[in-house]
């Protein structure tokens, strides 16, 4: 069957890791996305505060530390599996003593002799030292396939670690920009209170000069109180976001909080084509591919385990006996064992079925993960496109609202407009200004989600990369 250039390039370049993707038709049809970034998306923002927070999370977050520990545990398990392919060597030593009469009881006693001045000892001593070596000469590849499976499972755990790190990056970034957004909204509300306070003073002066009614003063005060009532909610949002951020950084949420003095960054349209996805760009996809290959290796190991095994063993050593005198003797031996399974209560056949069903489950999970990842890319792109259009409309609305407010205020001061005209214009401007900040935040959130969903080579060893970048 002919292969496309793209499939051939992936097979040659990625080797064993993508072998399962080549032999799985639905998986192999997923082509590499043209918009996959080679560098982390936060580099595009140029926010050093965010980068520092991400490094701090990599160092102190408990969930990530647990993922690292599980990865190291899987690597240790792979090292244990390798022992089955290696020869074993042991050194044994043994010593004993007892009454000499008891030793000779079965032979009618030990003769004592009839003369001489040297008394016969009452005890005897024995001992031995032996070196033993053994090696399973042939298990028909069963142990090797088991070792391959455990190594692939350890690689899958690395994918899990990268997945936790990637998720943590997204959480920290989104929470950090929640803090930035809440801070910006508080600044806007504070500025609106200042403008409203100035207008209230003007209305009071005009009232005192008989140029305005008491109703106009009360309406201005009402507007000022309404604006002031929005401030506590924004302050609560800020404090909650700061607490979440502290928790993600592995710090006490009730302690000192992260202070920011930056604006929400503007972002353009993220690259990456809906309908395509790079199977190596997402950690969970890499882990799923490794787990599927590991399950296939365990199926093969279970099938080959029904064949006979051949084992070699050898030993050499020395033993001694001491009573009336000391006697030593060297010993050695070698053996070969052939083991042919005849009846095991269907244990091996059950292991084959068990491993086959595990491989089937991993294959299904792998395909569903691919579809879920593709859905995340499409969803994030649709949201970003719609929110970008909404942000542009809101900015036009804000520009018009600011012009209307300035004009209404100028006319009011000139006695050509009522305070109600000013209040209506100011209320529209306030809502538009806050709407721009909130929509800019949602645009940034969808941009981050899309970048996270597309992934890239930068997701491999993400924790290490971030720590080494400091």
**Does residue 455 belong to any structural domain of this protein?**
yes
Residue 265 has phi, psi (to 5 degrees) of -75, 145
Q: What is the pLDDT of residues 286-308, one digit of tens each?
A: 999 999 999 999 999 888 887 78
Question: Which two three-digit tokens encode residue 217?
Answer: 């003063």
| Residue at 309 is within a domain | no
Question: Domain for residue 116, yes or no?
Answer: no
Range of the domain at 270: 32-88+144-303+349-468
b/e map of 138-174 (b: 16 or more CB within 10 Å)?
ebbebbbbbbbbbbbbbbbbbbbbbbbbbbbbbbbbb
Does residue 266 lie within any of the structural domains? yes
Q: What is the pLDDT of residue 140?
A: 62
pLDDT for residue 9: 36
**Residue 26 pLDDT greater than 70, yes or no:** no
Residues 80 and 74: their CA atoms lie apart, in Å, by 10
Assign residue 211 the CATH number of its domain.
1.20.1600.10
Residue at 215 is within a domain: yes
DSSP 18: G
**Which tens digits make up the pLDDT trace of 392-449?**
999 999 999 999 989 988 888 887 888 888 888 888 998 999 999 999 999 999 999 9
Whether 398 is covered by a domain: the verdict is yes
Is residue 24 predicted with pLDDT exceeding 50? no
Structure tokens, 10: 């992936």
How many Cβ atoms are within 10 Å of 278's Cβ, its own excluded?
21
The yes-or-no verdict on residue 376 having pLDDT over 70 is: yes
Residue 364 covered by a domain: yes
The answer as to whether 319 is a domain residue is: no
**What's the structural domain count of the chain?**
1
Over range 77-90, report the average pLDDT.
86
Whether 185 and 434 have beta carbons less than 8 Å apart is answered as yes
């Amino acid at each position: 069957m002919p292969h496309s250039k793209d499939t051939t390039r992936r097979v040659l370049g990625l080797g064993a890791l993508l072998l399962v993707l080549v032999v799985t038709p639905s998986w192999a049809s997923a082509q590499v996305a043209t918009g996959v970034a080679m560098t982390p998306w936060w580099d595009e923002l140029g926010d050093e505060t965010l980068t520092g927070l991400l490094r701090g999370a990599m160092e102190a977050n408990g969930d990530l530390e647990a993922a690292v520990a599980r990865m190291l545990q899987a690597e240790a398990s792979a090292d244990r599996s390798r022992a089955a392919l290696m020869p074993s060597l042991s050194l044994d030593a043994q010593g004993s003593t007892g009454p000499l009469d008891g030793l000779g009881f079965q032979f009618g006693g030990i003769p004592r002799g009839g003369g001489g001045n040297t008394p016969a000892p009452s005890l005897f001593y024995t001992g031995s030292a032996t070196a033993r070596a053994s090696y399973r000469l042939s298990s028909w590849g069963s142990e090797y396939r088991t070792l391959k499976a455990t190594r692939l499972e350890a690689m899958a755990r690395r994918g899990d670690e990268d997945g936790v790190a990637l998720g943590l990056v997204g959480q920290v970034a989104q929470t950090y920009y929640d803090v930035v957004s809440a801070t910006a909204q508080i600044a806007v509300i504070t500025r609106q209170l200042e403008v409203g306070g100035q207008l209230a003073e003007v209305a009071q002066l005009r009232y005192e000069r008989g140029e305005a009614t008491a109703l106009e003063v009360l309406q201005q005060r009402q507007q000022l109180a309404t604006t002031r009532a929005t401030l506590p909610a924004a302050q609560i949002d800020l404090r909650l976001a700061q607490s979440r951020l502290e928790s993600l950084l592995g710090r006490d949420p009730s302690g000192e909080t992260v202070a920011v003095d930056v604006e929400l960054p503007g972002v353009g349209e993220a690259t990456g084509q809906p309908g395509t996805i790079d199977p190596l760009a997402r950690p969970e996809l890499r882990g799923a591919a490794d787990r599927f290959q590991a399950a296939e290796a365990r199926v093969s190991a279970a099938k080959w385990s029904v064949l006979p095994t051949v084992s070699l063993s050898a030993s050499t050593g020395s033993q001694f006996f001491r009573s009336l005198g000391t006697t030593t003797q060297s010993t050695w031996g070698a053996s070969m064992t052939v083991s042919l399974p005849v009846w095991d209560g269907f244990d091996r056949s059950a292991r084959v079925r068990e491993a086959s069903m595990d491989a089937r489950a991993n294959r299904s999970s792998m395909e569903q993960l691919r579809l879920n990842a593709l859905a995340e890319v499409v969803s994030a792109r649709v949201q970003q496109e719609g929110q970008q259009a909404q942000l542009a409309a809101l900015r036009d609305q804000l520009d018009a609202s600011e012009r209307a407010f300035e004009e209404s205020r100028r006319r009011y001061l000139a006695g050509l407009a009522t305070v109600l005209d000013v209040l209506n214009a100011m209320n529209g401007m306030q809502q538009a200004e806050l709407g721009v900040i909130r929509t800019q935040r949602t645009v940034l959130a969808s941009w981050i989600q899309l970048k996270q969903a597309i992934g890239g080579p930068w997701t491999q060893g993400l924790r290490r990369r971030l720590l080494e970048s400091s």
